[in-house]
């Protein structure tokens, strides 16, 4: 049996479940100390659509406030009673963190950010995993009594057939007394609206923006395009923007339709975070900047002069739109006459 570790948002495990089904044998899901959001019925319906017929729910008193360490310890202890060949989890989010703690507790190796997984037999597995944030792919062999693997969101596998229903099986487990000493005491709701991970357009600023006050025009442009504002690591390090806005290897990896990089040199760790964008527009005064060389389009100029002109032009064209005219006809999309190969 292959287990897929899911968090409350079961739909985030879709790629992981698809990869699990390619290994042969039954695929079941497990969640540890779920807080109950969304509802259990919604989670079961989502898993059934993915071809998962059973969800194991591990819980104990106070599990909803447990830390990832405590959840990982509980999972490791429960795995000793189950005949499981592998446990897979999405490579991003809380499930990956829980699986990492479980691996440490169980003294088992963990293969992270895998895009393909194959069972070689006799406790051996072959995996291809992303390294350096996805810039490199590594073929590796994993030997373990139970394979613990996180699956990259870029992994592709045929979607399994849905099942009629997914049943929930409750397991009351004994929490680790040391790990249980820490618990969640407060939760802060995420800001509403589009996020970096889901926005169709992301407008980011780096050192060239000059300071926190320079992000006003970026926010204005993002608002006009229905997007979100991001930043480079230097902006976070300088305290100009919160870490939640950072695009990059140590921030958020994004894949919008359009990425506008304003005053960003394009260091490798930042490029890893934005390289999946469909179109990249770089605005920079340095023609030799890596971001300019890698971008789909580039504008060589001062961000503080270019962006206000772009915002003004978008507003002018929107005001001139005829009711019922679509955006393409109105010409509100960004254009550039300078193509960088």
pLDDT of the residue at 210: 94
Q: What is the rounded distance in angstroms from the CA atom of residue 37 to the CA atom of residue 15?
A: 21
Neighbours of 327 (CB within 10 A): 11
Q: Is the pTM of this model over 0.75?
A: no
**How confident is the model over 286-315, as pLDDT tens digits?**
999 999 999 999 999 999 999 999 999 999
Q: Token digits for 146?
A: 């139970």
What value does the mean pLDDT take over residues 104-108? 93
pLDDT at 190: 61
pLDDT-wise least confident of 1-5, 203-207, 234-238 = 1-5
Q: Is the pLDDT of residue 183 over 90?
A: no
What is the mean predicted confidence (pLDDT) over 110-123? 88
- Secondary element (H or E) of residue 104: helix 94-106
**pLDDT for 309:** 95
Place of tokens 């290897």: 249
d(CA 110, CA 182): 24
Strand partners, 89: 150
Residue 337: pLDDT band (50, 70, 90) is: very low
What burial class does residue 337 get, using C-beta atoms within 10 Å of its C-beta: 0-12 exposed, 13-18 middle, 19+ buried? exposed
**What is the pLDDT, as a whole number, of residue 323?**
62
Range with the lowest mean pLDDT among 9-18, 155-164, 188-197, 212-221? Answer: 188-197
Q: Is 90 helix (H, G, I), strand (E, B) or coil?
A: strand
CA distances from 304 to 66, 157, 193, 310 (A): 47, 45, 26, 11
Least confident of 40-44, 130-134, 207-211: 130-134
Which pLDDT band, with edges at 50, 70 and 90, does 320 fall under?
A: confident
Max CA separation in the chain (angstroms): 69
Share of the chain above pLDDT 90, in %: 58
The Cα 176–Cα 186 span in angstroms is 21
| Of 152 and 121, the one with more pLDDT | 152
State residue 338's pLDDT score: 39
pLDDT > 70: what percent of the chain? 88
Using CB atoms within 10 Å of the CB of residue 3, give its burial: 0 to 12 exposed, 13 to 18 middle, 19+ buried: buried
Helix 68-79 × helix 94-106 angle, to 10°: 50
Q: Which residues pair with 259 in a beta bridge?
A: 202, 280
Tokens 């898993």 belong to residue = 47
Mind listing the pLDDT tens digit for each residue in 44-93? 999 999 999 999 999 888 887 888 898 999 999 999 988 899 999 998 88
Taking alpha carbons only, the member of 11, 8, 22 closest to residue 160 is: 22
Q: Are 176 and 41 in contact (CB under 8 A)?
A: no
Compute CA 126 distance to the chain's CA centroid, rounded to the nearest angstrom: 24
pLDDT category at 191 given cuts 50, 70, 90 is low
- In this prediction, residue 257 has a pLDDT band, given cuts at 50, 70 and 90, of very high
Give the closest residue to 244 by CA, choosing from 255, 258, 268, 228: 228
Q: Which residues face 139 on adjacent strands?
A: 128
Sheet containing 27-32, strands listed edge to edge, beginning at the edge strand earlier in sequence: 136-143, 124-131, 110-121, 147-151, 86-90, 2-5, 27-32, 54-59, 167-172
Length of the chain (residues):
341
Short-list 157, 147, 143, 148, CA closest to 16: 157
Residue 214, token pair as written in the block: 């320079």
What are residue 271's phi and psi, to 5 degrees? -60, -40
Residues 210-228: tens digit of each pLDDT = 999 999 999 999 999 999 9
The pLDDT, as a whole number, for residue 20 is 93
CA atoms of 258 and 303, how far apart (whole Å): 17
State the pLDDT confidence band at 341, using cuts at 50, 70 and 90: very low
CB atoms within 10 A of CB 137: 13
């Amino acid at each position: 049996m292959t287990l897929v570790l899911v968090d409350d948002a079961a739909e985030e495990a879709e790629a992981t479940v698809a990869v699990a089904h390619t290994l042969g044998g039954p695929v079941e899901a497990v969640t540890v100390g779920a807080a109950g959001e969304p509802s259990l019925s919604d989670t079961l319906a989502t898993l059934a659509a993915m071809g998962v017929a059973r969800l194991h729910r591990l819980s104990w008193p106070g599990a909803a406030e447990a830390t990832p360490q405590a959840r990982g310890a509980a999972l490791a202890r429960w795995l000793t009673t189950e005949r499981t060949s592998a446990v897979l989890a999405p490579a991003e989010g809380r499930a990956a963190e829980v699986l990492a703690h479980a691996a440490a507790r169980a003294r088992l190796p963990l293969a992270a950010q895998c895009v393909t997984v194959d069972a070689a037999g006799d406790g051996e597995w072959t995996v291809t995993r992303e390294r350096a944030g996805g810039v490199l792919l590594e073929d590796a062999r994993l030997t373990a009594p139970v394979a613990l693997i996180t699956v990259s969101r870029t992994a592709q596998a045929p979607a399994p057939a849905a099942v009629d229903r997914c049943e929930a099986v409750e397991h009351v487990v004994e929490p680790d007394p040391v790990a249980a000493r820490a618990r969640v005491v407060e939760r802060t709701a995420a800001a509403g609206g589009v996020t970096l991970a889901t926005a169709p357009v992301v407008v980011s600023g780096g050192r060239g923006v000059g300071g926190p006050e320079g992000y006003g025009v970026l926010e204005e442009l993002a608002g006009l395009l229905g997007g979100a504002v991001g930043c480079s690591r230097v902006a976070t390090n300088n305290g100009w923007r919160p870490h939640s806005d950072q695009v990059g290897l140590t921030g958020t990896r994004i894949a919008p339709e359009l990425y506008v990089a304003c005053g960003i040199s394009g260091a490798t760790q930042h490029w890893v975070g934005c390289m999946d964008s469909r179109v990249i527009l770089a605005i920079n005064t340095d023609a030799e900047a890596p971001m300019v060389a890698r971008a789909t389009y580039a504008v060589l100029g001062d961000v503080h002069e270019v962006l206000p002109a772009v915002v003004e032009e978008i507003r002018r064209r929107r005001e001139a739109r005829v009711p019922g005219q679509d955006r393409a006809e109105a010409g509100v999309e960004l254009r550039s006459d300078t193509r960088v190969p």
